[in-house]
Amino acid sequence: MHPPATTTPRTLPLPVLGGKLPLFGHTFRLFKDLPKTLHELEQSPGPLCWIKILGSWVLVYTRRESFDLFMNRITSSARLIKQGSVVIGKRSMVSSDGDDHRHLRKAASRPFTPRGLTMSGVSATIEEVVRARVDAMLAKDEVVLTRETQRIALDIIFRIMGIPDSELEVWADKFNVLLKGLIGPRINAPPLPYFFSSRARDWLDERLKAIIDNARDDPDAQGLVPEMVRGRDDEGRGLTDEELLDNLRLLVFAGHETTASVMAWMASYVATDVEVHDRLVAEATAAEGLPQAPKDMGAFPYAEAIFRESLRLHPPVSTQNRDLTAPLEVDGVTIPAGTTITVPIWLLSRDPELYPDPDAFNPDRWVAHKRKLSPLETVQFGGGPHFCLGYHMAWVESVMFITHLARRLAEQGRRLVLPRLPKESFFPLIRPVGEDTRARVVPHKMT
């Protein structure tokens, strides 16, 4: 859950979640046990309930209709600038609204479309990293799944931006220092994290700017950055250097921990259930190659089902906030403009009407699914104009990862083993507890 950046008052006499602490409100409860807290909010009388996070009141809207807020007809995302400016700057698409957002999104989006992924060479780079990293991972007899998937996801993002293999380590270090600036006061003096974060940002920006300059100088260059440099909005306007830098940093931020989390859950389910493992191996060894784009997914229905079910049960982004720019009417109550409303992605992912036995891991619900997915069925990636730009990339990357992993394990006659499903941690996003994902790689005969 992202806390709002400034203090918003509790504007309406609606129910308030119990167990509030004087200084911290509901912050600790939510981060300690997010599912329990969300279920309590769901059970409060009516679809709206206040909670207090880091000094600010937000209104959680537990009904399915909360998804409509993603359409951004009467909401704004601009508040994210205050929360995350050290990472995403002032010109990133995730914190822009209206025409500004349309300009940034249109000009940046080509390499992320299903065709763009293959045409720009992004899928080929993803495959290279997945093959190299999974092979290195399986040279060991014990692996910490979260560590491996974080490395894969981060390497992929940096490699598609044109960063050479030899520099990946230092880029990863600098990016981690940058992220520390999101927490604590925004004071640019040592020893405060913001100071080191700002310096890491300068380091990253100087090098990203060189990559942008090279792409501007070479009209035939291939890859993500050249595509973004050449990208145009509907009026023919391209992205400025500031816009490119803010959005490249956003891509690393938005695209690596999220995908790493879902890949770690996927591998955890495979490692705790031998039947899931065997079925996945049967599919992976019967198919040829690895999927490069959504159109190739037909040969990998079970791997895709593991991806969708892992995401449904553990959506890395569990909730998303929006600020109302106009009043919203719910059951005769008028919520005033300025109120921060939370869309509970986690609850929408476990809606019992959409998913019978919603808490069970059942990939077959997706294998049997023959219709086009509805917007609610991909709610883990948001919806409307801000729907995740990296959706197709995350999908391809995750299915590639689990399929290649299964194939390599089969070749080695081994499988991953975890004694039980890892516990979840909820802050800053949902992911398995690292130490709980320490898996053994043991000999295995298919049943």
Query: Could you tell me how many residues of this chain bind ligand HEM (CB under 6 A)?
Result: 24
Among 30, 48, 51, 250, binds ligand HEM (CB under 6 A): 250
| 116 lines the binding site for ligand HEM (CB under 6 A) | no
Query: Judged by CB under 6 A, does residue 386 bind ligand HEM?
Result: yes
Residue 252, sorted as left (phi over 0), alpha (psi -120 to 50) or beta, turns out to be alpha
Interface residue with ligand HEM among 44, 125, 380, 403 (CB under 6 A) is 380
Dmax over Cα atoms in the chain, in whole Å? 63
166 vs 150: CA distance, rounded Å: 18
Least distance to ligand HEM, CB of residue 263, Å = 8
Residue whose CB is less far from ligand HEM, 312 or 407 = 312
CB-CB contact of 145 with 432 (8 Å): yes
Q: Look at the block and give the residue holding tokens 């986690």.
A: 346
Closest distance between ligand HEM and the C-beta of residue 262, in Å? 4
- Residue from 114, 193, 226, 382 that binds ligand HEM (CB under 6 A)? 382
For residues 47 and 255, which CB has a smaller minimum distance to ligand HEM in the complex?
255
Tokens 């700057």 belong to 89
- CA 403, 409, 413, 415 torsion-angle sign: negative
Angle, in degrees to the nearest 10, between helices 301-313 and 391-412: 120
Task: Evaluate whether 402 touches 389 at the Cβ level (below 8 Å).
Answer: no
Q: Is residue 392 close enough to count as binding ligand HEM by CB under 6 A?
A: no
Footprint of ligand HEM on 15-74 (CB under 6 A): none
CB 83 within 8 A of CB 89: no
Q: Which of residues 260-279 bind ligand HEM (CB under 6 A)?
A: 262
In the bound state with ligand HEM, the residue whose beta carbon lies nearer, of 103 and 277, is 103
Question: Pseudo-torsion of CA 345, 371, 126, 214, nearest 10°?
Answer: -80
Piece of the chain touching ligand HEM by CB under 6 A; list 130-138, 206-214, 235-243, 388-396? 388-396
One symbol per residue from 73 to 92: x for binding ligand HEM (CB under 6 A), - otherwise; what is it? ----x---------------
For residues 284 to 323, the per-residue mask of contacts with ligand HEM, x marking binding by CB under 6 A and - elsewhere, is --------------------------------xx--x---
Amino acid at 418: L
Smallest distance, ligand HEM to C-beta of residue 12, A: 24
32: Cα within 13 Å, side-chain hemisphere: 5
The single residue among 172, 254, 305, 328 that binds ligand HEM, judged by CB under 6 A, is: 254
Kindly tell me which residue out of 393, 399, 409, 410 binds ligand HEM, with binding defined by CB under 6 A: 393
Helix (H) or strand (E) holding 219: none
Stretch that binds ligand HEM, among 29-37, 257-265, 285-293, 437-445 (CB under 6 A): 257-265
Query: Residue 281, interface with ligand HEM (CB under 6 A)?
Result: no
Q: Where are the beta strands (DSSP E) in 77-166?
A: 142-144
Q: How far apart are CA 10 and CA 17, in angstroms?
A: 12
- Please select the residue that binds ligand HEM; options are 394, 406, 416, 439, rule is CB under 6 A: 394
Q: Is 259 in the site for ligand HEM (CB under 6 A)?
A: yes
- Applying the rule CB under 6 A, the residues between 191 and 220 that interact with ligand HEM are none
* Contact residue for ligand HEM among 145, 389, 396, 409 (CB under 6 A): 389
Q: Which two tokens stand for residue 354?
A: 């959409």
Site string for ligand HEM, 323-362 (x = CB under 6 A): ----------------------------------------
The 8 Å CB, 24+ separation contacts for 211-219 are 211/161, 211/162, 211/163, 212/241, 212/244, 212/245
User: Contacting ligand HEM (CB under 6 A), which of 265, 361, 381, 401?
Assistant: 381
What letter would DSSP give residue 438?
A: E
CB of 258 to ligand HEM, least distance (A): 3
Question: 17 near 26, Cβ under 8 Å?
Answer: yes
Three-class secondary structure of residue 363 per DSSP: coil
163, 240 contact by CB (below 8 A) = no
State how far the Cα of 274 lies from the Cα of 447, in Å rounded to an integer: 9
Q: If residue 415 lies in a helix (H) or strand (E), which one and from where to where?
A: strand 414-417
Mark the segment that binds ligand HEM (CB under 6 A) among 130-138, 213-221, 253-261, 418-426: 253-261
Choice between 50 and 346, CB closer to ligand HEM: 346
Tell me the CA distances in angstroms from 146 to 116, 141, 159, 244, one per residue in order.
Answer: 29, 16, 20, 30
Contact residues toward ligand HEM (CB under 6 A) are: 77, 93-94, 105, 157, 250-251, 254-255, 258-259, 262, 316-317, 320, 380-382, 386, 388-390, 393-394
